[in-house]
């Protein structure tokens, strides 16, 4: 699916942030990316996942959470990297920018975060008044959300590498605290480390993310539409309806934790 890519500037909190906006023909929703410490809008991993989501009909926005000056300060002091409230405010402000952008107005919004950006995305969804249809955290730090985890309700997918033991433990503990979240999953990619550089691992992450976000968008549209029908391919707004595909798309051998239940799953690679 062809997409229109453009560099954008986002004015928030008296600063200007740089971003990459990619809009496919007739987008069905938009995914806001938030990166981890030391990364940026040009993260190769996020750009790859963004391309996969574009091919599924999602617009994507990858943006720098920090200005260049803030990045330099953070590299010395670490002032921002674990300041989840600060990072979350940047995501929320950018979400408001999307809502005011005439090219994007009306598109359902989802979040995709990595490392600390994953925790910030989850925290941001808590302040959305249930208007974020889903969150994906890749190798994220949901533990940084702290006590608010128990009140998160936005559908959330946590993806971690099987060889990233510390992050797995943090994510497993976090998902068990998300008592109010009715649609939550923890997926472990076998033989993957924190950044998923191993062959085929990032591809699995992208496919899991795509299917989760598509399913949650379908559910979101059904909940916010007076009637339910099939997609007519004419673009998307919160009032559009889509075919619901509730079948999960799973790759490899993974552990799925849903509503605090752990299941071992075996699937072949397509």
- On the question of pLDDT at 70 being above 70, the answer is yes
CA distance 172 to 142: 10
Pair 133, 220: CB distance under 8 Å: yes
What CATH number did the domain enclosing 108 receive? Answer: 3.40.50.1820
Domain holding 12, by residue range, is 3-266
**pTM (predicted TM-score):** 0.83
Region 39-55: what's the mean pLDDT?
A: 91
- On the question of pLDDT at 236 being above 70, the answer is no
- On the question of pLDDT at 102 being above 90, the answer is yes
Name which residue leads in pLDDT, 255 or 64.
Answer: 64
Q: Provide the edge-to-edge strand list for the sheet that holds 15-24.
A: 3-12, 15-24, 58-63, 29-34, 109-114, 132-138, 156-161, 184-189, 253-258, 261-266
Count Cβ atoms below 10 Å from residue 85 Cβ, excluding itself: 9
CA distance 149 to 153: 9
Strands 15-24 and 29-34: unpaired
- Tens of pLDDT, residue by residue over 10-27, are 998 899 999 999 999 999
Q: What is the mean pLDDT of the chain?
A: 84
Q: Which helix (H) or strand (E) holds 98?
A: helix 84-100
> With b meaning 16 or more CB within 10 Å and e meaning fewer, what string describes 106-124?
ebbbbbbbbbbbbbbbbbb
DSSP sequence for 179-239: TT-SSEEEEEETT--TT--STTHHHHHHHHHHHHHHHHHHHHHHHH-SS-----SS---TT
What does the pLDDT read at residue 179?
A: 96
- On the question of pLDDT at 85 being above 70, the answer is yes
Q: Which residues pair with 60 in a beta bridge?
A: 22, 31
Nearest residue to 118 (alpha-carbon basis) of 99, 100, 137, 135: 137
3-class SS of residue 237: coil
What does the pLDDT read at residue 38?
A: 67
CA distance 61 to 64: 10
Q: What's the structural domain count of the chain?
A: 1
Q: If pLDDT is split at 50, 70 and 90, which confidence band does 129 have?
A: confident
């Amino acid at each position: 699916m062809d997409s229109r890519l453009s560099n954008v500037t986002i004015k928030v909190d008296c600063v200007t942030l740089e971003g990459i906006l990619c809009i496919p023909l007739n987008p069905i929703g938009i995914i806001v990316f938030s990166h981890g410490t030391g990364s940026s809008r040009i993260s190769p991993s996020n750009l790859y996942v963004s391309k996969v989501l574009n091919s599924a009909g999602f617009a994507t926005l990858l943006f720098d959470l920090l200005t260049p000056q803030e990045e330099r300060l953070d590299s010395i002091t670490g002032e921002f990297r674990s300041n989840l409230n600060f990072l979350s405010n940047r995501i929320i402000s950018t979400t408001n920018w999307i809502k005011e952008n005439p090219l994007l107005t009306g598109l359902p919004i989802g979040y995709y975060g990595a490392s600390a950006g994953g925790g910030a995305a989850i925290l941001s969804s808590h302040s959305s008044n249930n208007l974020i249809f889903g969150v994906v955290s890749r190798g994220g730090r949901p533990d940084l959300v702290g006590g608010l985890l128990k009140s998160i309700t936005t559908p959330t997918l946590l993806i971690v590498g099987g060889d990233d033991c510390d992050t797995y433990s943090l994510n497993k503990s976090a998902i068990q605290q998300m008592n109010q979240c009715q649609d939550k999953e923890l997926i472990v990619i076998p033989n993957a480390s924190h950044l998923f550089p191993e062959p085929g691992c990032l591809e699995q992450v992208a496919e899991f993310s795509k299917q989760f976000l598509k399913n949650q968008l379908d559910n979101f549209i059904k909940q916010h539409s007076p009637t339910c029908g099939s997609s007519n391919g004419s673009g998307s707004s919160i009032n559009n309806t889509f075919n619901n595909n509730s079948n999960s798309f799973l790759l490899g051998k993974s552990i799925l934790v849903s509503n605090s239940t752990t299941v071992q799953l075996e699937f072949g690679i397509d």
